[in-house]
Amino acid sequence: MSIPGRQIAQAIIQTVITASGRSCGYSTVPTSLSQPTGNQLPYHVLYELGQTVSGPPFGDAAGDARLLVQVTTVGNSPEAASSGADRVRTGLLGRSPDGSDWLFSIVAPAGYAVVGRELDREDGMSVAGSTYSYVQRFAVHVTTTG
């Protein structure tokens, strides 16, 4: 059973945008028309890194998957890249004050639910010229609901 990775990735992008207030591209730099901030620094880029599935055989409609995504925050200073990465981390991993729910939901397509999230790897910051990048990799656990 396969989970629609692109649709889940788009849902994660919306969560990143909501949490950070900055544009997020899908495997590329956001365009000048991307909402809310176009391609102005800082911005984020989300890359799909594949999925692993578990549960019943592929012919069965029920199942679970673990999707890996990388979010790269790009800024023109170390502070901008690090602060943007902090907002992404809070957006994807932050919990409500009582710990009962996520601060920001990931709205999966009908028939699927996000049941878990984790930071898989954090490579931190690098610099090329005067552009700073901060790389984080997240695992999102998805299950079928119907």
**Both tokens assigned to 22:** 């900055």
pTM: 0.92
For 8-41, the pLDDT digits (tens) are 999 999 999 999 999 999 999 999 999 999 999 9
Indicate the fold that domain 5-144 takes in CATH: STM4215-like (3.30.2000)
42-62 burial, b at 16+ Cβ within 10 Å, e below that, comes to bbbbbbbeebeeeeeeeeeee
| CA dist., res. 69 & res. 53, Å (int) | 15
Residue labelled with tokens 């609901």 = 145
Question: What is the 8-class DSSP label of residue 3?
Answer: -
Residue-range domain boundaries for the chain: 5-144
- Which pLDDT tens digit goes with each residue over 52-77? 887 666 555 667 899 999 999 999 99
